[in-house]
Amino acid sequence: MDGTTAAAGADRRNWLALASVKGVGPAAAQRLLKHFGSPAALLACSRGELIAAGMPADRARALSQPDWRAVDRACAWLEEAGEARCLLTLQDVTYPELLRQIADPPLLLFVRGRRECLAAPQLAVVGSRNPSADGRGVARDFARQLGHAGLTINSGLAVGIDAAAHEGALDAGGATIAVSGCGPDRIYPQRHADLA
């Protein structure tokens, strides 16, 4: 591993460590990053420095003890062979710009597949987990037509309208992004493993 790769790996580990700290959400992490400059500088701080920067004592203690086992698991997942995987941090130039502009954007995005889809024109399609057959068909047809028009379809991989939207985009040979709330190492619901 050359010096550049080692530095990138250390930077990735520091971002993962910061994200692993319980009780420090995106808004608090961003305030701290503005104050200290980087995850490495932040994680190198003493509890006293963190408290002086406005962190409550319990969170300062948590920041001084990140979950390095969780970091190791995330790094192992990122390095598994077989598919394209990457980690985007809030400071990466390829982090989706519109997502960066929301009030509390996530610090990290775990990406499986083609990350260039994140920069494509997109439309989100979400809805009922228990739609009628007609509703499911309309969602699939709608997403198919939008996919033919070149839009990337975003949804949540959930049962119902979300799945129909993903299927419609794929029917069109288009791109689709599944936004998952359970982490990149799990497909939920499991019955959508093939769809994922």
Q: What are the phi and psi torsion angles at 25 (to 5°)?
A: -85, -175
Does residue 110 belong to any structural domain of this protein? no
pLDDT attached to residue 15: 96
Residues 65 and 11 in one domain: yes
- In which domain, by residue range, is 170 found? 120-192
Where are the strands (E) in the chain, listed by range? 85-89, 108-112, 122-124, 152-155, 176-178
pLDDT attached to residue 8: 67
The residues of the chain scoring below 70 in pLDDT are: 1-8
Beta-bridged to residue 176, according to DSSP, are 153
Residue 189 burial class via C-beta count within 10 angstroms: exposed 0-12, middle 13-18, buried 19 and up: middle
Residues 31 and 78 in one domain: yes
Does residue 48 belong to any structural domain of this protein? yes
What total number of domains does the chain contain? 2
Query: Integer distance in angstroms from the first to the last C-alpha of the chain?
Result: 33
d(CA 3, CA 90): 23
pLDDT attached to residue 181: 81
pLDDT attached to residue 137: 97
Residues 65 and 130 in one domain: no
Residue 140 DSSP symbol: H
Q: Residue 57 maps to which CATH number?
A: 1.10.150
Does residue 95 belong to any structural domain of this protein? no
d(CA 82, CA 33): 34
d(CA 36, CA 154): 34
Residues 66 and 138 in one domain: no
Last residue in a domain, options 83, 111, 142: 83
Q: Residue 132 maps to which CATH number?
A: 3.40.50.450
Residues 12 and 67 in one domain: yes
Does residue 98 belong to any structural domain of this protein? no
Does residue 175 belong to any structural domain of this protein? yes
